[in-house]
Amino acid sequence: GAGVSQSPSNKVTEKGKDVELRCDPISGHTALYWYRQRLGQGLEFLIYFQGNSAPDKSGLPSDRFSAERTGESVSTLTIQRTQQEDSAVYLCASSKGLAGVNEQFFGPGTRLTVL
Amino acid sequence: AQSVTQLGSHVSVSEGALVLLRCNYSSSVPPYLFWYVQYPNQGLQLLLKYTTGATLVKGINGFEAEFKKSETSFHLTKPSAHMSDAAEYFCAVSSGSGNTGKLIFGQGTTLQVKP
């Protein structure tokens, strides 16, 4: 079956522009996570969805970042007024039910470069 | 709060030698512990995980890790390194029951395998 997919794979934008990053989780996976990986660093948690609700948004770094999920499926991470420090690889993961006991499956990521 | 420290951002071993990647964690609740591997230009793949039960866990590709509560450690080992093991390795922790399943990652360790 298909894994987690993300689009675009690469995005180059100018400072101040808005960007949307898309994640298509594995079908039937109710939990969805966004992480950010800056160059040479580990992954930072951004937001968690259970179904279409986001009970944990604690990792979003500023109010320029938002995310939504619809149909208990696709999720979009939006970054408004991008800054150079937003440059990173944005990874999406999904799992059946609650992760921990259930494995999180990661997508290939979207590499965002803000000029 | 939970945290993960991976000792050594770069580890270099000869092919056939023992691989030891160190991970220490901090958690106020019983942790779930994970090792992920990221091959160049690929997404993260789960190597192994500890949730409950046996403290020595075996994963894919001959890797294993031992949960040592007294040392708050979860070091990753492989008896004999192969060239194909060259990759970046991430240790991660999440809390147990009642949590969102979000993963807290270490900074990563790049494993180099020399012929």
pLDDT in tens, B50-73: 988 889 999 999 999 999 999 999
- List the Cα angle A100/B5/A109 in 5-degree steps: 55
Q: How far separated are the first and last CA of chain B, in Å rounded?
A: 41
**Tens digits of per-residue pLDDT, B6-25?**
999 999 999 999 999 999 99
Q: What does the pLDDT profile of chain A (115 residues) look like in tens digits?
A: 589 999 999 999 999 999 999 999 999 999 999 999 998 788 999 999 999 999 899 999 999 999 999 998 999 999 999 999 999 999 999 998 766 677 899 999 999 999 9
Do A103 and B43 count as a contact with CB atoms less than 8 A apart?
A: no
Q: Which residues, 6 or more positions from B87, have their beta carbon under 8 angstroms from its beta carbon? A: B37, B38, B39, B40, B110, B111
Q: Does B43 touch chain A (CB under 8 A)?
A: yes
Shortest distance between the Cα of B105 and any Cα of chain A, in A, equals 6
List the helix and strand counts (H, then E) for chain A.
0, 11
- How far apart (Å, rounded) are the C-alpha atoms in residues B38 and A94? 17
Do B43 and A100 count as a contact with CB atoms less than 8 A apart?
A: no
Q: Which residues, 6 or more positions from B98, have their beta carbon under 8 angstroms from its beta carbon? A: none
